[in-house]
Structure 1
Amino acid sequence: MRKRIVDAIAIVVVTVIAIAVSLWLTPMQSVQAVGQTVRVGAAPPSTSWSGPGQVELFGRQLDTTIDFPGPIRPRLELTNLELSGELADLVGPAGDDAARKQAQDELQNALVDGWKRYLIIQVLIVAAVSLLLMGAVVGWQRRSAASSIIVVVIGVVVAAAANVGAVVVTASNAAEQLRAISSIESLVGAATVPGALPANPPPAAAGHVVVIGDSTAAGIGNPPLRDPTSQDTACERTSGAFAVALGRASNWKVTNMACSSATIRAGLLGEQERGGQTLPPQLPAALDAGPAAIIISIGANDVGWSHMIGLCAALPDCGGKASDAYFNQQLETFARDYLVLLTRLRALPNPPTVIINTYYDPLPGGSDCVADLGITDDKIAILHGWLDAMNKVLEQGADAASFPTAKPSFDGHGLCSPDPFVQSIKGNAPLHPTTAGGLAIALADQAALIKAGVK
């Protein structure tokens, strides 16, 4: 009787270990759909009986908005996502329902196939691991050959049965949820962003560059434009904007459509309320101008970057769990919206050259001049971490879409330097670029445009 109890305990322990090891060892399965490579596997087991899966996008680990049954849910990796023109079948053109349905079926079938292959391999690994462990147990007990075979077979069968009940049955139900994914955007739970891009934008005009984006691109806080339009005034566009410097330093005609406070949802793809006006979405307006290139400066407002700097200065626990969680939540929403923006651009027929700007560091070289405001070197290190995370999303998304990036550097010209490229804390627009800072950004964009072959 005592031996049977020991055997039962050993079988239970082996079963638990085999299932845990299998979930760790089973390789993610690569599938091809609509020109993409997506890796499918399992997220870490959950204690709840239903909930979201996981998806990795532009270096961020996100929860899916789709709930899956069971404690074992899909994990999807999109780190090598290629935002190719084949995505046009998923997002446009309007009315091409047959092509869209075919692309959706291809994506759904590929995801389900990858998930099923993952589960088959996981079952085989459970059997192999339980066989090895049970063999080790009976070897340690020095049983007879016949007794050892019986115990090993029972152990493997119990482990396989438990795995089928605890993992395979519940996980296989996730296939239906995977069939609800109709696009790359819905896979990551990207929200529908208002507005549509022109289906057939006019031909590119050689030498015309349009800048769209936020207050960094608008150049707020610098000297005003000569003869500004009502939109210029509402958006706080100035003569110190990098678009103005780029036009002066090159033969390109540069149009600045950027607007202070713009985000992807309210500014680039959707209307924006600013200065008592309802402003049209920047990206459709830029495309209607038929530019040879579009420069995009976006993300700071989407993640609440200015708010995070103020929060870090005010709170003694800057970088604590609460502020870090808030920033990461904002960054995840931005990654989803950024995917929508990039996908829309890649789905355009004959799109213009697109340059994605990353953000400069306003505080390189120490914190002496802002120490009395509560911004210490430790806090600057935390701000640098947040800034790097935002720029990583921008860079990885641009790489996925095959768009060049421009990376302006303010090294040696930070806020506390003798010759700062950012406005002072007491300036019109604290930490925003000065006219000299705008020129530094313009030179980075000029180099990116020349490298991209923009005429």
Structure 2
Amino acid sequence: MGKRLIDVLLIVVATAIAIAVALWLTPMQTVEAVGQTIRVGATAPSWSWSGPGQVDLFGQELPTTVEFSGPVRPRLELTDLQLTEQLTGLAGPDSDESTRSAAQSELTDALVTGWRNYLILQVLIVAAVTVLLLGAVAGWQRRSMRPSITFVVVGALIAVTVNVGAFVATAFSTADQLREIDSLASLVGAAPAATPAPRAAPAGEAGKVVVIGDSTAAGIGNSALADPTPEDTACERTSGSFAAALDRSTGWGVTNLACSSATIRQGLLGDQERGGGQVPPQLARALAAAPGALIISVGANDVRWSQMIGLCATLPDCGGAASDAYFRQQLSAFTRDYLVLLTQLRSLPNPPTVIINQYYDPLSGDTDCVRDLGITPEKEEILRGWLQSMNTVLAEGARASSFQTAQPSFAGHGVCASDPFVQSIDGAAPLHPTTAGGLAIALADQAALLESGFR
């Protein structure tokens, strides 16, 4: 009896190790659906019997809106965002029911196929690892041939049975659960835009550039425009913006539609309340102007970047579980909205050249002047980590959508430098670009446009 109990314990331990190793070793399976490349794998095991799966999007791990059964659930990685008419029509009002149904069926079938292929390979790896582990145990115990074979075979069968039992509920229920999906955006809970992009935007004009975005693009805190419109004043657009610098330093015609406090949802894709009035969605207006190139500066307001800097300065536990969780929550919401923005741009029949701006480091170089504000060197690193996470989302989304990015360098010209590219902490617009900073951003955008072939 004692020997059998030891054998059972050995098989249990080997099963647990084999399943863990298999989940780690089994490669994600690549499938194609509605013009998308999707990799399908599994999440880490959970103690709960149901819950969301996971979607890896632009460097972020987002829970799915679909609840799956079983302790191990699907993990989906959107590796190549190439929007097609099929995908756009999944939930589009202009597509007929048969088109939506065919596209949705293709998406569902591909995801289920990828999951089942992953499961088969994972089961084989579990069996192989169990055989190796129990074979090694049998050899170490110096068992004879027949008992060793019996021990290994029985152990492998038990391991495979336990593993399949953990997966099978999800494997057989996945198809029904995935039928709830009507687009990849809905899979991660990205709400549709309030103002859809025009179905047929005019062809872009050579040498015409439109800038959309937030206060960084508006250039707030610098000298006023010579002849501002009421909207320019409401949105705090200035002559020190990178759009103005780009217009002055090139032969291109540059229009600035950026507005202070704009986010993707309220500013770029939807109306924005500003100065007691409503500013129309920037993207729709930009596309209607038929630009050859579109420069986008967005994300800081979506993740509440200014507030995060203020919180980090005042909280002794900046970077602790609470503040980091809050930032990650804002970053996840931004990632979802960014997907919607990119989807709108990629669905255009003749999209302009698109440049996505990444954000500069306002604390570059000497930072002694911020010590009295409570920003220690340790807090600086936390803020840089958060900034890098936001820039990773921007860069990964641009890459997946085949758009260019521009990364301005403020190296040695941070807030404490003798010739800063950012406004002082007690300035009109703390840590926003000065006129010199706007020029640095303009040069980065110019280089990105020229690299993309824009003339």
Q: Is the TM value for this pair above 0.5?
A: yes
Deviates further, 372-381 or 260-269: 372-381
- 1:96 is displaced (CA, Å) by 4.4
Partner of 2:399: 399
Deviations 1:32-57 (A, max 9, x none): 11222211111000011111111111
Q: Residues of 2 paired with 1:8 and 1:337: CA distance?
A: 51
AA paired with 2:341?
L
Q: 8 Å contact 1:112–1:179 — kept in the other structure? A: no
**Partner of residue 109, structure 1:** 109
TM-score in terms of structure 1 length: 0.94
**CA separation of 1:136 and 1:217: change in aligned 2, threshold 3 A:** same
Cα distance change of structure 1 residues 374 and 124 upon mapping to structure 2, 3 Å threshold: same
CA contact (8 A) 1:83 1:342 kept: no
SS of residue matched to 2:168:
helix
Corresponding position of 2:376: 376
Please state whether the residue corresponding to 1:302 is helix, strand or coil.
coil
Q: Could you give the per-residue CA deviations for residues 319-348 of structure 1, whole angstroms, max 9, x where no partner exists?
A: 222111111111111111111111110010
Distance 1:14 1:411, change over 3 A: closer
Identity of aligned residues (%): 67
CA RMSD after TM alignment = 1.9
Tell me the residue number matched to 1:82.
Answer: 81
- Determine the structure 2 residue equivalent to 1:309: 309
130-139 or 286-295: which moved more?
Answer: 130-139
State the partner residue of 1:52.
52
Q: State the alpha-carbon separation in 2 of the partners of residues 437 and 100 from structure 1.
A: 47
Residue identity matched to 1:422: V
Q: Is 1:342 the counterpart of 2:342 in the alignment?
A: yes
Following superposition, the deviation at residue 100 of structure 1 comes to: 3.4
- Between 176-185 and 116-125, report the one with greater CA deviation: 176-185
How big is each residue's C-alpha offset from its partner over 1:72-107, in whole Å with a ceiling of 9 and x where there is no partner? 1011122x3233445444465723443333222222
Contact 1:364 1:412 in 2 (8 A): yes
CA contact (8 A) 2:198 2:284 kept: yes
Deviations 1:224-281 (A, max 9, x none): 2223222112111112111112111122221111111000001001111111112211
1:421-450 Cα deviation digits (max 9, x unpaired): 111111111111112211221122122222
Supply the distance in 1 between the matched residues of 2:378 and 2:364 (Cα, whole angstroms). 13
Give the match for residue 182 of structure 2: 182
- Flag the 1:141–1:277 CA change in 2: closer, same or farther, 3 A: same
**Residue 257 (structure 1) aligns with:** 257
- Paired residue type of 1:82: L
Cα deviation digits, residues 352-407 of structure 1 (max 9, x gap): 11111111111110211121111222222221111111111111111111111121
Cα distance per residue 1:265-318 (max 9 Å; x no partner):
010011111111122111001111111111100000001110111111111222
AA paired with 1:425? Answer: I
Q: How far apart in 2 are the matches of 1:15 and 1:370?
A: 55
Deviates more, 1:325-334 or 1:147-156: 147-156
User: Structure 1 256/13 Cα, relative in aligned 2: closer, same or farther at 3 Å?
Assistant: same
Amino acid at match of 1:239: S
1:320 corresponds to 2:320? yes
Answer yes or no: is the 8 Å Cα contact 1:108–1:180 preserved in 2: no
More deviation, 15-24/86-95 = 86-95
Residue 194 of structure 2 contacts residue 270 of structure 2 at CA under 8 Å; is this kept in 1? Answer: yes
Query: What secondary structure does 1:440 align onto?
Result: helix
Correspondence for 2:354: 354
- Measured in 2, the distance between the counterparts of 1:20 and 1:420 equals 52
Q: 2-side partners of 1:170 and 1:396: how far apart?
A: 30
CA contact 2:268–2:283 (8 Å) conserved in 1: yes
User: Which residue does 1:279 correspond to in 2?
Assistant: 279
Secondary structure of the structure 2 residue equivalent to 1:441: helix
Q: Which residue of 1 is the match for residue 128 of structure 2?
A: 128
2: CA distance, partners of 1:411 / 1:161: 58
1:169 and 1:27, CA in 2 relative to 1: closer, same or farther beyond 3 A?
same
Distance 1:425 1:165, change over 3 A: same
Measure the CA separation in 2 of the matches of 1:449 and 1:134.
60
**SS in structure 1 at match of 2:301:** helix
Alignment partner of 1:207 is 2:188: no
**What TM-score, normalized by structure 2, do the two folds share?**
0.94
1:366 touches 1:377 (CA, 8 Å); kept in 2?
no
Partner SS for 1:375: coil
Q: Would the alpha carbon gap of residues 188 and 297 (structure 1) be closer, same or farther in structure 2, given more than 3 Å must change? A: same
Question: Secondary structure of the residue that 1:67 maps to in structure 2?
Answer: strand
Number of residue pairs aligned between Structure 1 and Structure 2: 454
Residues 11 and 134 of structure 1 are in contact (CA less than 8 Å); yes or no, is this contact kept in structure 2?
yes
Cα distance in 2 between the residues matched to 1:113 and 1:7: 37
Aligned twin of 2:167: 167
**Residue 115 of structure 1 aligns to a residue in which SS?**
helix
Q: Which residue of 2 aligns with 1:294?
A: 294
CA distance, structure 1, for counterparts of residue 373 and residue 2 of structure 2: 71
For 1:403 and 1:373, the matched residues in 2 are separated by 38
Whether 2:25 is the aligned partner of 1:3: answer no
AA of the residue aligned to 2:268: L
SS at match of 1:24: helix
Distance 1:35 1:15 in 2: 39
Structure 1: distance between partners of 2:91 and 2:179: 17
- Following the alignment from structure 2 to structure 1, what is the Cα–Cα distance between the partners of residues 118 and 131? 20
Q: In structure 1, what is the equivalent of residue 18 of structure 2? A: 18
Distance 1:143 1:85 in 2: 61
d(CA) in 2 for partners of 1:12, 1:257 = 64
Q: Which segments of 5 or more consecutive residues in structure 2 lack a partner in the other structure? A: none
Q: Which residue type is aligned with residue 165 of structure 1?
A: G
- Alignment-derived partner of residue 363 in structure 1: 363
Equivalent residue letter for 1:302: D
Query: Counterpart in 2 of 1:269?
Result: 269
State which drifts further: 324-333 or 148-157. 148-157
Could you tell me which residue of structure 2 aligns to residue 41 of structure 1? 41
Tell me how far apart the structure 1 counterparts of residues 91 and 379 of structure 2 sit (CA, whole Å).
Answer: 42
- Cα 1:134/1:440, change in 2 over 3 Å: closer
CA distance in 1, matches of 2:140, 2:205: 79
Give structure 1 stretches of 5+ with no counterpart: none
